[in-house]
Amino acid sequence: MSALTENIKLEIKKLSGNNSDFNKYVVFNDVSFIIPKNKITTLFAPMGSGKSTLLKLIMSQNNLNIKYYGNRIFYIPSEIVLIDGFTVAENIKLYVSSHCEDKINDALKIVGLDGYKNHIPINRSKGFIFRVMLAIGLIIKSDLIIIDDYFNNMRNITKIEIFNLLIELKNKMNLTFFISSSNFSNSLTISDKIIFAKGNPFEVLYDIDIELNYQNLELKLESEQFSLLKDRLTKKLSELRIRDIII
């Protein structure tokens, strides 16, 4: 890795056209952006704009316009289904070796599910299921975790707990997160960087680094700096004519 890319986890340069392997109707128009290392970057764009198609293209690692400077990517889709009747550990072992009990125990403890290894997750919340998937990403030693518009329709208290967990993992384990979102409030709350985009064709309109460093999200959300930034970016959304959903 060169000195020019040592702080970059993933880079997209001038991605154009479509890809029939994923969605032939999504057309990219000169898409370029950088995902910095050890940060939480959010791609904010409306539903149906092509975010998921872009994430799948990144996951394929089969496009010359996309450069990944890391070891392993893990993808968490917007809809996760655990196998009925399987314990948490059995669901995890669908993705990892069955000979890693200690790693499973350690990962579940990190994501806040200590003691749930043999639990059968019947009708569990989105937050619980997300923690299981996050544990898998830790076990396989991913350095980039991609999260596809997952946090809509999640209770706010659960969402804040999950966001604080992601920030803790970023800081303590040097992980990089790339989140797609159609919710501006979520994007602003969790992100170190936001990339604003639109669809038809899919193109990047604007990006901004969010430099608000607080001990926890509660302090950040109550700060005057956050309030002023939210007002400024809300006006920017209007200028860019990006349709937002608030959930």
Lowest mean pLDDT among 143-147, 234-238, 240-244: 240-244
Q: Tokens standing for 11? A: 């880079």
- Closest of 53, 51, 48, 49 to residue 23, by C-alpha: 53
Residue recorded with tokens 């392993």: 72
| Environment class of 75 (CB within 10 Å of its CB; exposed 0-12, middle 13-18, buried 19+) | middle
Long-range contacts of 61-66, Cβ-Cβ distance < 8 Å, separation of 24 or more = 63/15, 63/19, 65/12, 65/13, 65/14, 65/15, 65/16, 66/10, 66/11, 66/12, 66/15
Q: What span, in angstroms and rounded, lies between the C-alpha atoms of 239 and 56? A: 29
What confidence score (pLDDT) does residue 51 get? 94
The whole-number average pLDDT for the span 161-183 is: 96
The one-character DSSP state at 78 is: S
Q: What span, in angstroms and rounded, lies between the C-alpha atoms of 107 and 116? A: 11
Q: Tokens standing for 199? A: 């669809």
Are residues 55 and 12 in contact, defined by beta-carbon separation less than 8 angstroms? no
What confidence score (pLDDT) does residue 4 get? 64
Lowest mean pLDDT among 3-12, 101-110, 171-180: 3-12
The pTM is what?
0.93
Tell how far CA 80 is from the center of its chain.
14
Summarize pLDDT for 170-180 with one digit per residue, the tens.
999 999 999 99
Lowest mean pLDDT among 17-21, 49-53, 90-94: 17-21
Amino acid (1-letter code) at residue 239: E
